[in-house]
Chain A
């Protein structure tokens, strides 16, 4: 945390021309002071509600936006587009932070939708292939389709209760059937955003076509926005969730299984990483909807770790894409000989993805498997498949991309630059060192 603090200060002085880093600086200080609070804390102002979850998500989003600017060097290098690009990124960060801070569900909804627009423009404007138009339409309409019922439900609740504040909400004045409909509409919005299996089609498309910044923000934070929303309303709707949670848990377990198999047959590097994040989300949802404290805690950790790791993987894949201009796994072979500098980073990120020892992924996986097995013992039959298949396709990425013969048409490439190393290391440090936080020692 202290290193981050000094890092932000140094950034502030180095890039005096870029005013937005100044904002980062202040927010860093803000979070630096609040993160020294004990394990569970809640801060309630008149308009905002902050606890461990929202703090860590705000921190994650600032961290990842700083990485985004560094990583998307080739998008910024064009001077005409640069201002628009940076404006979009800042607008996105602003709307995300507001939606993580607020205690007003309508404002949350508003900025939740606001964050679609800059992401859409980033995908459409800075993507690479012409398929990006379809991808961005998918991205927009899947989310809108889910979240419009949420708006109606919010208004209905406002008519009866007179507040949008989720701390004061209660559903007790409604009949059982109404509550069921409300819950369905609320959760469908967040579950599509997260995304749950069967509604995940927009995710690989948007990830594949987006530029690196879009991929990072999608994988890192926008998916977590749905998870954040679920965590906020899960306390209100807990009594109804006891009846429908089996459906979501089984769907997420099926997702781990199916997507594990699918990933073994994909050959698009970016799509592989995107699908692996869908599988991870399956574990997250499974753990979260058990409604146990261990699941809740594990979901918090996996949200952070998965956000960092998958964005790091997108960065690495993008670095290969910048050099070789191909995403295919068959053409990205034998990279260890071409670009040995990236070998260590891609290995560390991939094994963090399958929860290697020092990372917080392992910790979160332990937490989530505790809660899942606490829910039903029968899950012991399904969970190993998902965990094992995750290892299969992740190591398959590593082995295929780093070993074997090179694609012989590649004859010139850049070596790894210090900027790129910096980007990847700033992914690896939090993943590998965050286990020092006190949460981990609950286990030992």
Chain B
């Protein structure tokens, strides 16, 4: 059974558009790769499993797509054969596996209501089973959308080829979790746990992106922060707005990744932004597209990001949230602008470096999808605004309204004050801590591999220890011991002689005792024994 409503149709449309453009883009990007067919099949499976998630009202079918997304994303992350991508793939797939298990448990718990469909669940308002189900669903969703305890995999997953990252970060893998939350939004309603997690996520990832030197990683961290924004909105209970931000974000994020892929590919496969200089001269048109996507991400007026992001910020400020969280949200939106301009500063404004673009710009296979996505991602927000935006009534004071718009000015002032040295940051320990999103990759990899060392103890204690001792080995020893007992008695030495003598003596004493009782029966016994 497939089920369609306006969310499903529009979302699957976006997924299909972006995936087709990405498949078009890969003609040029992995030209000459012997595994091209594998790549196409994997992307196809990826899209199919995403569509399974989108179009199903049934948790089991969602699980099919959910598992499929995890495993296929693993295959795509380990597409290049090296250690780094193997490690990234393991982190990715195991983080997703936690979500799979949570969803599996949610399925088995949802059967308490008699079926695996989750549609009617919204009509059960208070039930203890519902609490378990949506806790599990939230765990599943925050693993897929890489919120805070599980956010290590998203920056690591950039080891995949860039078209794949474009697909993963924009509309498929990470948005699956958000999509599940949108489906369960009536159950979750206003959830402060989710709210806190996502606020922390946008803060940490925004801060991390400001110190990151890897082009793709900066974009990945910006994805993380945008996902955080979406989930904040969801946790405040406004699912339409979250969904529209999801769509807009999908459009400009895929554009960003495709442009970044072009840059990386044309500067001899280098993605350190300290090498990416003067792209403005090498690839002017694609630079404009990149800039447009960046500006759209920051919420520049009347480009896609503006329509949703501005509304989202206003929604935060009309809620009753305390000053600390308000400050965190405000700071992280400022961070978004800062890292966007930092990227622009590093890659476009600075003078020539060793590496320059070695590629002509009129490669139509790479050019067409980027142009197409550019037009959609600039005008997409407006189209969404026309077509299906609900009415929102927002009442805020003039001060706060200006406060929101002021954030751009704040950034420009900051840059202007510090001049060029604003973005030049050396290597320091504290910065390493911030850049690695507060050590989350190390916590989620090294910390847990330590725990797996218990396994060796288990092998030593159980399988090679007690089970062997009470099982095969002891049986073997006892068999040897018991079967040699009679052999030992046959050997004539002092010990067995003495043993025999004592045995006979005991017997005689016993007989004497029996005789002393003067029983008729015992005399016969004595006779028989002596005769024997």
Are A403 and B98 in contact (CB-based, < 8 A)?
no
Proximity bits, A142-159, B CB within 8 Å = 1, else 0? 100100000000000000
Are A357 and B65 in contact (CB-based, < 8 A)?
yes
CB contact between A262 and one of B68, B105, B455 (< 8 Å): that residue = B455
A436 in contact (CB, < 8 A): no
Are A265 and B452 in contact (CB-based, < 8 A)?
yes
> Which residues of B are found within 8 Å of A373, using beta-carbon distances?
105, 108-109
The segment from A13-21, A308-316, A390-398 found at the interface with B is A390-398
Query: Which residues 318-338 of A sit at the B interface, judged by CB distance below 8 A?
Result: 334, 336-337
B391 in contact (CB, < 8 A): no
Question: With contacts A262-B455, A262-B458, A264-B455 known, is A403 near B104, CB below 8 A?
Answer: no
Q: How many whole Å from B42's CB to the nearest CB in chain A? A: 11
- Taking CB as reference atom, which chain B residue is nearest A260? B455
Are A395 and B456 in contact (CB-based, < 8 A)?
no
Are B105 and A380 in contact (CB-based, < 8 A)?
yes
Question: With contacts A258-B458, A387-B101, A395-B94 known, is A403 near B78, CB below 8 A?
Answer: yes
- Taking CB as reference atom, which chain A residue is nearest B78? A403
Interface residues on B, range: 35 or more
Are A444 and B101 in contact (CB-based, < 8 A)?
no
> Which residues of B are found within 8 Å of A362, using beta-carbon distances?
63-64, 67
- Taking CB as reference atom, which chain A residue is nearest B448? A392
Are A356 and B71 in contact (CB-based, < 8 A)?
yes
A266 in contact (CB, < 8 A): yes
A75 in contact (CB, < 8 A): no
The segment from B180-188, B212-220, B343-351, B459-467 found at the interface with A is B459-467
> Which residues of A are found within 8 Å of B65, using beta-carbon distances?
357
Are B467 and A198 in contact (CB-based, < 8 A)?
yes
Give the docked Cα–Cα distance between A369 and B68 (Å): 20
CB contact between A403 and one of B60, B81, B105, B458 (< 8 Å): that residue = B81
Proximity bits, A372-407, B CB within 8 Å = 1, else 0? 010000001001100110011001100100111000
Give the docked Cα–Cα distance between A358 and B1 (Å): 17
Proximity bits, A195-214, B CB within 8 Å = 1, else 0? 00011011010000000000
> Which residues of B are found within 8 Å of A266, using beta-carbon distances?
455, 459
Are A265 and B68 in contact (CB-based, < 8 A)?
no
Are A337 and B60 in contact (CB-based, < 8 A)?
no
Give the docked Cα–Cα distance between A262 and B217 (Å): 35
Give the docked Cα–Cα distance between A334 and B82 (Å): 9
B475 in contact (CB, < 8 A): yes
B169 in contact (CB, < 8 A): no
Query: Which residues 87-125 of A sit at the B interface, judged by CB distance below 8 A?
Result: none
CB contact between B467 and one of A201, A358, A366, A387 (< 8 Å): that residue = A201
Proximity bits, B358-395, A CB within 8 Å = 1, else 0? 00000000000000000000000000000000000000
CB contact between A399 and one of B49, B89, B111, B462 (< 8 Å): that residue = B89
Are A262 and B463 in contact (CB-based, < 8 A)?
yes
Give the docked Cα–Cα distance between A264 and B453 (Å): 8
> Which residues of B are found within 8 Å of A141, using beta-carbon distances?
472, 475
Question: With contacts A264-B455, A265-B456 known, is A392 near B94, CB below 8 A?
Answer: yes
Are A201 and B86 in contact (CB-based, < 8 A)?
no
> Which residues of A are found within 8 Å of B471, using beta-carbon distances?
142, 199, 201
CB contact between B101 and one of A265, A351, A357, A384 (< 8 Å): that residue = A384
Are A392 and B452 in contact (CB-based, < 8 A)?
yes
A169 in contact (CB, < 8 A): no
B335 in contact (CB, < 8 A): no
B524 in contact (CB, < 8 A): no
Give the docked Cα–Cα distance between A266 and B107 (Å): 32
> Which residues of A are found within 8 Å of B67, using beta-carbon distances?
355-357, 362
Are A357 and B452 in contact (CB-based, < 8 A)?
no
A24 in contact (CB, < 8 A): no
Are B104 and A395 in contact (CB-based, < 8 A)?
no
Are A399 and B86 in contact (CB-based, < 8 A)?
yes
Are A404 and B68 in contact (CB-based, < 8 A)?
no
Proximity bits, B52-76, A CB within 8 Å = 1, else 0? 0000001011011101100100110
Give the docked Cα–Cα distance between A166 and B467 (Å): 34
Are B68 and A201 in contact (CB-based, < 8 A)?
no
- Chain A contributes a number of interface residues (CB within 8 A of B) equal to 46
- Taking CB as reference atom, which chain B residue is nearest A396? B90
- Taking CB as reference atom, which chain A residue is nearest B89? A399
Q: How many whole Å from B288's CB to the nearest CB in chain A? A: 39
> Which residues of A are found within 8 Å of B472, using beta-carbon distances?
138, 141-142, 201-202
Q: How many whole Å from A163's CB to the nearest CB in chain B? A: 34
CB contact between A395 and one of B82, B90, B108, B468 (< 8 Å): that residue = B90
Are A399 and B78 in contact (CB-based, < 8 A)?
yes
Give the docked Cα–Cα distance between A402 and B82 (Å): 10
> Which residues of A are found within 8 Å of B75, using beta-carbon distances?
347
A180 in contact (CB, < 8 A): no
B127 in contact (CB, < 8 A): no
Are A265 and B116 in contact (CB-based, < 8 A)?
no
Q: How many whole Å from A293's CB to the nearest CB in chain B? A: 13
B83 in contact (CB, < 8 A): yes
> Which residues of B are found within 8 Å of A402, using beta-carbon distances?
78
Question: With contacts A399-B78, A444-B58 known, is A261 near B452, CB below 8 A?
Answer: yes
A443 in contact (CB, < 8 A): yes
> Which residues of B are found within 8 Å of A258, using beta-carbon distances?
458, 462
> Which residues of B are found within 8 Å of A263, using beta-carbon distances?
455
Query: Which residues 176-221 of A sit at the B interface, judged by CB distance below 8 A?
Result: 198-199, 201-202, 204
Query: Which residues 238-262 of A sit at the B interface, judged by CB distance below 8 A?
Result: 258, 261-262
> Which residues of A are found within 8 Å of B105, using beta-carbon distances?
369, 373, 380, 383-384
Are A387 and B104 in contact (CB-based, < 8 A)?
yes
- Taking CB as reference atom, which chain A residue is nearest B117? A444
> Which residues of B are found within 8 Å of A336, using beta-carbon distances?
81
A370 in contact (CB, < 8 A): yes
Question: With contacts A261-B455, A384-B102, A399-B89 known, is A337 near B81, CB below 8 A?
Answer: yes
Are B111 and A370 in contact (CB-based, < 8 A)?
yes
B454 in contact (CB, < 8 A): yes
Q: How many whole Å from B133's CB to the nearest CB in chain A? A: 11
Give the docked Cα–Cα distance between A396 and B94 (Å): 10
> Which residues of B are found within 8 Å of A366, using beta-carbon distances?
60, 104, 107-108
> Which residues of A are found within 8 Å of B100, using beta-carbon distances?
391
- Taking CB as reference atom, which chain A residue is nearest B98? A388
Give the docked Cα–Cα distance between A351 and B468 (Å): 32
Q: How many whole Å from A408's CB to the nearest CB in chain B? A: 16
Give the docked Cα–Cα distance between A351 and B75 (Å): 11
Q: How many whole Å from A41's CB to the nearest CB in chain B? A: 27
Are B97 and A262 in contact (CB-based, < 8 A)?
no
B93 in contact (CB, < 8 A): yes
Are B468 and A201 in contact (CB-based, < 8 A)?
yes
CB contact between B74 and one of A261, A264, A370, A395 (< 8 Å): that residue = A395
> Which residues of A are found within 8 Å of B452, using beta-carbon distances?
261, 264-265, 392
> Which residues of A are found within 8 Å of B82, using beta-carbon distances?
403
Query: Which residues 402-443 of A sit at the B interface, judged by CB distance below 8 A?
Result: 402-404, 443
Q: How many whole Å from A263's CB to the nearest CB in chain B? A: 7
Are A444 and B102 in contact (CB-based, < 8 A)?
no
> Which residues of A are found within 8 Å of B71, using beta-carbon distances?
351, 356-357
Give the docked Cα–Cα distance between A261 and B132 (Å): 27
Are A380 and B109 in contact (CB-based, < 8 A)?
yes
> Which residues of A are found within 8 Å of B1, using beta-carbon distances?
444
- Taking CB as reference atom, which chain B residue is nearest A435? B64
Proximity bits, B473-489, A CB within 8 Å = 1, else 0? 00100000000000000
Known A-B contacts: A198-B467, A369-B108. Give 12 more (CB < 8 A).
A138-B472, A266-B455, A357-B65, A370-B108, A384-B101, A387-B104, A388-B98, A391-B94, A392-B94, A399-B86, A403-B78, A404-B86
Interface residues of A (CB under 8 A from B): 138, 141-142, 145, 198-199, 201-202, 204, 258, 261-266, 334, 336-337, 347, 351, 355-358, 362, 365-366, 369-370, 373, 380, 383-384, 387-388, 391-392, 395-396, 399, 402-404, 443-444
Some 18 contacts from A to B, beta carbons below 8 A apart, are: A142-B472, A202-B472, A258-B462, A262-B458, A264-B455, A265-B453, A265-B458, A351-B71, A355-B67, A356-B67, A357-B67, A366-B60, A369-B105, A384-B101, A387-B104, A392-B97, A399-B86, A443-B116
